[in-house]
Amino acid sequence: MGRSPCCEKAHTNKGAWTKEEDQRLIAYIRAHGEGCWRSLPKAAGLLRCGKSCRLRWMNYLRPDLKRGNFTDDEDELIIRLHSLLGNKWSLIAGQLPGRTDNEIKNYWNTHIKRKLLARGIDPQTHRPLLSGGDGIAASNKRHHRRRIPYPSRRRRRPRRSSPCEAAAAAAPGRLLGRRLPQQQRHNEHGGAAVPRPQPRALGRADAELAAGGDAHQRAAGLPLLPPRLPRRGGVQLSG
Give the residue extent of every domain in the chain: 9-61, 72-142
CA distance linking residue 186 with residue 195, whole number of Å = 10
Q: What percent of the chain has pLDDT over 90?
A: 33
Domain 72-142 bears CATH identifier 1.10.10.60: yes
The tens-digit pLDDT sequence of the chain (239 residues) is 556 666 666 678 888 999 999 999 999 999 998 888 999 999 999 999 999 999 999 889 988 888 889 999 999 999 999 999 999 999 999 999 999 999 999 999 999 999 999 999 999 889 998 765 444 555 555 444 555 555 555 666 777 767 767 766 666 555 445 555 555 555 555 555 556 666 666 556 565 555 555 555 566 665 555 555 555 555 555 54
Helices (H) and strands (E) in the chain, counts: 13, 2
pLDDT in tens, 109-155: 999 999 999 999 999 889 998 765 444 555 555 444 555 555 555 66
End-to-end CA distance of the chain: 99
The residues near 18 (Cβ < 8 Å, ≥ 6 apart) are: none
What are 121's strand-pairing partners? Answer: 128
Rg (CA), the chain: 51
Classify domain 9-61 by CATH number.
1.10.10.60
**Cβ–Cβ under 8 Å, residues 175 and 182:** no
**Cβ–Cβ under 8 Å, residues 52 and 59:** no
CA distance linking residue 209 with residue 215, whole number of Å = 10
Q: What is the DSSP string of 168-201?
A: HHH-HHHHTTPPPPHHHHHHHTTTSPPPPPPPPP
Angle at 26 between CA 24 and CA 31, to 5 degrees: 95
